[in-house]
Structure 1
Amino acid sequence: MKGNKRVLALALSAVLTLTGLAGCGQSDKSAGSTAGASGGGAKSRAQDTIIYAQGADPRGLDPALVDDGESGKVIVNIYEGLLKYSKDSTQIEPSLAEKWDISNDGLTYTFYLRKGVKFQDGTDFNAEAVKINLDRQLPPKVTEDMVYAGFVFGSVKDVEVVDDLTVKINLTAPSTPFLNNLAMCMGAPMISPKALEENGNNVNEHPVGTGPYTFVSWTKGQNIVLKRNDNYWGEKAVTTNVIFKFIPDNSARVVALDNGEADIIDGIDATVVQQIEGSGNKIYKAQGMNINYLAYNTTRAPFNDVKVRTAISQAINVPELVQSLYQGYAEPATSVLPTFIPGYDASIAQVAFDQAAAKAALAGAGVNKLHIITYTNPRPYNTANGQALAEAIQGYLKNVGVTATIDAFDWTTYKEKVKAGDYDICFYGWIGDNGDPDNFMNLMADKDPRMNVARYDNAAYKELIAKGLTIPNGDERNKVYTDLEKMAAKEAVWLPISHATTLVGYRSNVKDFNYHTTGVIFLSEASKD
């Protein structure tokens, strides 16, 4: 771990220099800060920095150009959207928009913007900035690498600037989840128009938002450094500096936590919980809004045949697999939707384990080999990592006469491999963005292969998806998503594996971080005693 300590020292040195802390012995006080070991109300330099360790670098820091949780955790501390979720749920609250109106026909949303907000580069936040942010993700400007554009703005027709602080968003059809979409950490956050212009419409490495922290630096494979935005329109962040540190190995992250090289870590699994607690640190646990699944490439033989997909699924004992890999910190998935999402129905049944039937069906179809791709790092929905999951599946398939070859990649490379589509089976997962069932079930209707990794294309399924968007929340709408679940299970598009318990390790002196149900962490209120 000496190398990690050296990296940490360099990162701390850099951030202390940038924020004027080096040699001064005391930081500016802000709401919620506590006295440090130096006494007299002064805080030590270490207490002015929160270090969050995760398993991989973000793919980028432009909310329109990424779709992964590693990016989202950093993004939510730099940017904000028109709306936000409440601290403990996906209920909508005002953010950069103070209030809004919806027309009687559900086709026009009028947002009244907060006055006096500036982006971190000094640019004014106003209605024109909103229009620029939305227009870049709408035809004809939207690009294929804007993965979330369809999710967030697929129903948007156009955007009108009414005046400096009023903007109208017109839809092509009513969209029940639209307000929830505007609080998401992907696609929806507002970026400085000046930064977009100066960086060729891509701020993946030059993020500028309105949020409580500003971007300082990104050393690939090591860390991202943020500092408090002292010009923030709302309550200032408690802690001056935040470092997102990248440690791919689970056990190394635990050692970093135990040694004080990290204050909070994610991506932990059941095998290290006792070690973390035994060292005097703490575990945050919560029911996860997620799904961990195996997806078949439905566009190529033999997995374009539902009978073959069903037979492979029959070969896998999901409850046994989940208990072995996650040891009580995940529950077997009987559906795509977590149990607390509207539309969940306990009567839905996935393909059941039947080794003998699987062996006979696969032999009859002449299937004796297949190609698996997977990822090497832990994910919030799969803390055992994708390679361990793939190898477990490989063992089950061997028992029914099928040889599975596995190619494993780091997360960034894996995303590109999924996009290319050279696989029979891949492993993926999803953390709900907004608490709406469409956010899960639309994954099998999306035209983007980085979202719809099964590449499933079913007209009847898509018709139901479109219908669900227009129906108000309630029993009728819930039934649409139950029916979609049943269709997906009958077609064996995925083999749902598990819903993971959210596990975060943190040092006992850390308080008031908010690990949200959407899988991101808000650090502006976090501090250390």
Structure 2
Amino acid sequence: MSSHTPQQVSRRAVLSGSFAALMLGLTGCTDITPEPAPVSGSPTGAIPPRKLKFAAAAPALSLDPAAAGDNDSFRVTRQIYETLVSIDPQTGGPMAGLAESWTESEDGLRYTFALRRGVRFHDGTEFNAQAVVANFERWLNLSAEQRENGLQGFYQVFHHLSDVPELPEDNQSAQAPQTNPSETNEKLEATLAQQESQLQAMRIQFESELFTGDSQGGSASYFESVEAPDEFTVQLNLRRRLTGVIEAFTLPGLAIASPASLSGGSAEQPVPPLNELPVGTGPYRFVEHQDNLLRLELNESYWNTARVTNNPQHPERIEISSISRAQNRQTALLSGDIDAFDMVSVDILRTLVRNARMVVNRDPFSVLYLGLHHGAAWLDNPTFRRAIAHAVDKGRLSRELFINGTKSAQGILPSTFGVENPDNVIFYSPDEAKKLLELIGYDGSPIDFAYPRNVARNYMALPERTFALIAEDLAAVGIKVNPVPMDWIEGQYLQKVRSEGFKGLHLLGFSGAYRNEDDFISGVLSAKQYEFGYTSPLLDAQILTARSIPVGEERTAAYRSILTTLTHDLPLVPLVFPISALALDAAVTFYPSSPVLDEVFLDIKLERNTHLTG
């Protein structure tokens, strides 16, 4: 991940048009703390708490970080909970969080964390090693539904229920699409030769003991155990080296909850689940969640007093609501009903600029893709999938539907990882798509195409229009689609395409949460047998092998081979690496934008309090 040093809003504003418009946008953006003034109408002249009213594009689906999988939920839980390791806003690397320091054994199988002292959860419970162990024990025993809903937590990091893949025999690694052009055939032959060479090397490696120690989960689980040698020391034991595990502890799904909130209480008054009453160590406490409004207030006993005092302009109260339509979010901002909103779409950007509102970019760290279910008619044909990949004009998508700076994607890894695209990349070529369709005798049968509606994600601000452009591209080469719009709310869309295995085309994306290639690869493919109707022992073996390779050229080459396999098999077509953005009212003079969405509201600066009641 590239450095994502927080910038003053005035330096990161995305402003279109003339220099005059730019100067309008800069008006009022200053880092000078204003002198507080008495509020008229108050009998005592007391200044009400600084309040931030924030509008998301969708409601939080869960306040239990271990069972959450959407960024709107994590936006909230990042304010309430904290993790053992934090993200350095200057470098994007790991820094001390609830753990002050850590050490790694020479073989990479043991990590020892020295915990921070003097920290208490919002319920008064002391943070210590036993609290950390209690959270691990809870993660190990999550229900099937909680595991399914959680997408950035224990099971994703440690691959706890995975088994060692059984390597395919010779010539069973993949099915090669049959095409006419000699150049394409040469590339396919080279790909197959590379796969066979990798298989031979991995067969030798897989004959040895890949993992050590007993597993509480699958045979390919990296987690062995966790223990507390003393009150403020935690030791994590692994079954195999896991490169980037320290960075993984920054994930919101590995946030530490109060052990008293995980169990206990009487039969008459059991402890409420975290989804109803979240209890962490973070800078804000949960107040209530009613209808479409979620309220938080400053944790007056927050352990990081320096962080509080260093920003005297921080919000003291927070209200988060959801407004699904971008135009409605814009209207609420311009009318003063909210102070900020996420998911600025390109079609409202100019209006915001003309009204002197700030638009703050995030560096791209997500990918939008087109899913291709291998169990659907025609999509089960590799040549047909290849025709689709040739038919989609990714450049037009990025130009017309995304904020300037969005790049076309040839693989699912952003360029920040430095992994070059494989040699078998499929470029936009309608003529080639038509040739392939003619070759296989495509009869024009329509393909179901699912897309979400009434939502905006940081990888897809305009899903309906994204569908429309892709459908146009497919129609131009003769591929007919049957539109299948689905509501996003309450996880309906995700459930349909990821768990139930919608058989057709679908739009979805993935947001990276920490700087590790496996986060993207395993995140996108975590439900590949359902979402794409796709299984590949070769790919599974490639991914397992790559996870343990230290950072360097060998690791980069391993992930390039993974991209080669994905391009060959085509369970999905990567589309763009989008830039997402937020809009701010003049009262917000600083927002800690982050490509991995590690945006703690305690670091926001409010110039003045625009909400004088409530």
The two structures have a TM-score, normalised by structure 1, of: 0.87
Q: Which amino acid aligns with 2:147?
A: E
Deviation at 1:254, TM superposition (A): 1.0
Q: Which amino acid aligns with 2:277?
A: H
For 2:471, which of 368, 382, 394 is the aligned residue?
Answer: 394
Q: Is contact 2:500-2:531 (8 Å) kept?
A: no
Residue of structure 1 in register with 2:339 after alignment: 263
Gaps of 5+ in 2: 1-31, 160-221, 265-269, 309-313, 608-614
Deviation at 1:513, TM superposition (A): 2.6
More strand by share: 1
Gaps of 5+ in 1: 1-31
Deviation at 1:374, TM superposition (A): 1.6
Residue of structure 2 in register with 1:290 after alignment: 366
Distance 1:210 1:134 in 2: 17
Residue of structure 2 in register with 1:441 after alignment: 521
Deviation at 1:358, TM superposition (A): 2.6
For 2:481, which of 403, 410, 431 is the aligned residue?
Answer: 403
Distance 2:528 2:318 in 1: 34
Please show how residues 112-131 of structure 1 align to structure 2 within 5 Å: 112-131=114-133
Give the secondary-structure state (helix, strand or coil) at the position aligned to 1:405.
strand
Deviation at 1:182, TM superposition (A): 0.5
Deviation at 1:37, TM superposition (A): 4.0
Distance 2:585 2:424 in 1: 41
Q: Which amino acid aligns with 1:159?
A: V
Residue of structure 1 in register with 2:494 after alignment: 415
Give the secondary-structure state (helix, strand or coil) at the position aligned to 1:158.
strand
Change in CA separation of 1:299 and 1:130 when aligned onto 2, cut-off 3 Å: farther
Residue of structure 2 in register with 1:208 after alignment: 279
Change in CA separation of 1:448 and 1:495 when aligned onto 2, cut-off 3 Å: closer
1:375 aligns to 2:378 (yes or no): no
Residue of structure 1 in register with 2:193 after alignment: none
Q: Is contact 1:371-1:406 (8 Å) kept?
A: yes
Please show how residues 44-443 of structure 1 align to structure 2 within 5 Å: 44-45=47-48, 48-138=50-140, 144-145=147-148, 146-147=150-151, 148-154=153-159, 155-186=222-253, 188-197=254-263, 202-220=273-291, 222-235=292-305, 237=308, 238-326=314-402, 328-342=404-418, 344-346=419-421, 350-362=425-437, 364-366=441-443, 368-376=445-453, 377-384=455-462, 386-399=463-476, 400-411=478-489, 412-418=491-497, 419-443=499-523
Please show how residues 432-511 of structure 1 align to structure 2 within 5 Å: 432-443=512-523, 445-447=525-527, 453-511=531-589
Change in CA separation of 1:201 and 1:428 when aligned onto 2, cut-off 3 Å: farther
Deviations 1:26-46 (A, max 9, x none): xxxxxx975334389x8743x
Identity within the alignment, %: 23
Distance 2:412 2:315 in 1: 38
Distance 1:320 1:271 in 2: 15
Deviation at 1:293, TM superposition (A): 0.8
Distance 1:367 1:195 in 2: 57
Distance 2:46 2:495 in 1: 45
Q: Give the alignment's Cα RMSD to 1 decimal.
A: 2.5
Deviation at 1:444, TM superposition (A): 5.0
Deviation at 1:472, TM superposition (A): 0.9
Distance 1:140 1:69 in 2: 20
Deviations 1:420-479 (A, max 9, x none): 112311111111110111111123543576xx7324321111111111111111111111
Distance 1:94 1:193 in 2: 21
Residue of structure 2 in register with 1:22 after alignment: none
Deviation at 1:141, TM superposition (A): 7.0
Aligned residues: 491
Q: Which amino acid aligns with 1:426?
A: H
Distance 1:74 1:523 in 2: 10
Q: Is contact 2:370-2:572 (8 Å) kept?
A: yes
Change in CA separation of 1:116 and 1:492 when aligned onto 2, cut-off 3 Å: same
Change in CA separation of 1:202 and 1:424 when aligned onto 2, cut-off 3 Å: farther
Change in CA separation of 1:140 and 1:338 when aligned onto 2, cut-off 3 Å: closer
The two structures have a TM-score, normalised by structure 2, of: 0.75
Residue of structure 2 in register with 1:6 after alignment: none
